[in-house]
Amino acid sequence: MKPFAYHQPDQIPDAAKLLTSIEDSKLVAGGMTLIPTLKQRLASPVALVDLSKLGSLKGITDDGATITIGAMTPHAVVAASELVQTKIPGLAALASMIGDPAVRSRGTIGGSVANNDPAADYPAGVLGLGAIIVTSTREIAADKFFLGLFETALEPGEIITAIRFPVPLKAGYSKFKAPASRYALVGVFVAKFADGVRVAVTGAGPGVFRVPPMEVALSENFDPSAIAAIKIDNDGLTSDIHAEADYRAHLVTVMAKRAVDAALS
Amino acid sequence: MQISFTLNGRPTTVDVEPATLVTELLREQLNLTGTHIGCDTSQCGACVVHLNGLPVKSCTLLAPALDGATLLTIEGLQGAPGSNQMHPMQEAFREHHGLQCGFCTPGMLMTAVALATGKPDLTEAEVRHGLEGNICRCTGYQNIVVSVMAGAAAMNAAKGE
């Protein structure tokens, strides 16, 4: 690692100010992506702004029709939360599948969503549930937040403070994980609301995306059989040493069926 | 920068560069070499320590994160205080031969203790899932799983007395 200065602000405005006033500074949440990136010298910021002293970013609250998860809440806490397990069990299940126990102790929902890794799990849950990303300056709908490979709608100096999830009637997540990294080769999150179904896919392409034909079919009949014959186009999907685009396209249907099964169980 | 934390029960204050990994701090500055560096890419789990009671990979943890925290390393794992005995999980690994070369063992033990804490009825499936982030390149998982189950039973029996 190259040397860097380290700041631990205890107020959100101070953190935002540090981020905008120091050129080439970076936020660090749990560090589960950033620290490996620093170690490989893929990034060498001059300063890190650590969000861990911002107590207001931690914790999970029940707002009735929604639940709000603070940006610095670790995956292990979401996975073990009785509130999340009761209201959105599919989201608790997703959190329990990220990485391994030690990674889940440190990695945070805000870090995962801000990083927008194309194979990360949380973007599928956030887009699948149509969540709202709450930042230091505004609220952004999930449909407008994820812009592509590691790219989001966040402006320079803007900090995610929480994610607000609408409580669905049913939701489930299923992923086929790359065994070494435990990232999703393909992961599908399915959520059923009173006014329709949302299906979000991670891992398959350069960014998380929805599958409208599956949403229509599942809105009419929320059963795995309703989407068994729906194949997605492999054009634009990822091909790499782990899997060809064809195989990823095939997995989308398989994982979507399993996600519906999980939502129904 | 100066950081203060509780290391294996003792208040500790050290000067560190912010770009110091906890593995480096422990092994090179504090001479606690029980925490091993296997892959150094947060895959293998040989470096697992407990930060505020939770298992974390110390090769992917910056030293400034320790400020104000409580850290437990393999050197701090012990049986009843003052007894000079091994921790029940260490006893179980010895009894059931839960190691071959031993390189992964410190991390296995720290993960196992975190996994078994407060969980008297761990199933074999839970143990195997719980050890997902710890790799044994001797591939001696069978005895490790047996050891963790025995250690979990012993830890929780000791608590129940």
- Identify the helix (H) or strand (E) that includes residue A83: helix A82-87
B81 is a domain residue:
no
pLDDT of residue B147: 96
Domain span holding position B70: 2-76
> Is B51 inside any structural domain?
yes
pLDDT in the model for residue B157: 86
Smallest CA–CA distance from A47 into chain B, residue: B18
pLDDT for B160 equals 60
**Residues of chain A falling short of pLDDT 50:** none
Placement of tokens 């979401």 in the chain: A78
**pLDDT of the residue at A245:** 97
Q: H or E stretch including A166?
A: strand A160-166
Mean predicted confidence (pLDDT) in B56-82: 94
Evaluate whether A7 touches A47 at the Cβ level (below 8 Å).
yes
User: Nearest residue on chain B to A3, judged by CA atoms?
Assistant: B19
Judge whether residue B149 has pLDDT over 70.
Answer: yes
**Architecture of the A170-264 domain:** 2-Layer Sandwich (3.30)
**Tokens describing residue B104:** 């992964």
* Final residue belonging to a domain, choices B76, B101, B135: B76
Chain A CB contacts of B51 below 8 Å: 105-106
Domain termination residue (choose one: B76, B101, B133): B76
Answer whether A102 sits within 8 Å of B130, measured CB to CB.
no
Q: What is the pLDDT of residues A214-252, one digit of tens each?
A: 999 999 999 999 999 999 999 999 999 999 999 999 999
Q: pTM of this prediction?
A: 0.95
Q: Are residues B22 and B62 in the same domain?
A: yes
Q: Is A131 on the interface with B (CB under 8 A)?
A: no
Q: What is the pLDDT of residues A136-175, one digit of tens each?
A: 999 999 999 999 999 999 999 999 999 999 999 999 999 9
Q: Do A103 and B51 touch (CB under 8 A)?
A: no
A196 at the B interface (CB within 8 A)?
Answer: no
Q: Is residue B83 situated within a structural domain?
A: no
Is the CB of residue B34 less than 8 Å from the CB of residue B110?
no
- Domain regions of chain A by residue span: 1-50, 170-264
Are residues A35 and B111, on separate chains, in Cβ contact within 8 Å? no
Q: Are A47 and A22 in contact (CB under 8 A)?
A: yes
Q: Residue A239's CB: how many other CB atoms inside 10 A? A: 12
Per DSSP, A183 falls in state: -
Number of domain units in chain B: 2
Report if residue B82 sits inside a domain. no
pLDDT of residue B139: 86
CATH topology of domain A1-50: 3.30.43
Picking from B76, B105, B125, the residue at the C-terminal end of a domain is B76
Is residue B94, in this structure, part of any structural domain at all?
Answer: yes
The CATH number of residue B55's host domain is: 3.10.20.30
Confidence at residue B118, expressed as pLDDT on a 0 to 100 scale: 82
- Residue type (1 letter), B92: A
Say if residue B24 is in the same domain as residue B57.
Answer: yes
From chain B, pick out residues whose CB is under 8 angstroms from the CB of A106: 51, 56-57, 60-61
Reported as a single tens digit per residue, the pLDDT across B17-59 is 999 999 999 999 999 999 999 999 999 999 999 999 999 999 9
ipTM: 0.93
Dump pLDDT digits (tens) for B77-131. Answer: 988 777 889 999 999 999 999 999 999 999 999 999 999 998 878 999 999 999 9
Same domain assignment for residues B13 and B48: yes
Tell me, yes or no, whether B54 lies in a domain. yes
Answer yes or no: are the C-beta atoms of B126 and B111 closer than 8 Å.
Answer: no
CATH number at residue B132: 1.10.150.120
Nearest to A201 by CA among A120, A141, A132: A120
Give the Cα separation of A37 and B133 in Å (integer).
19
Average pLDDT of the residues of chain A:
97
For chain B, positions 76-115, list CB contacts with chain A under 8 A: 111, 114-115
Q: Coil, helix or strand for A17? A: helix
B155 and B102 share one domain: yes
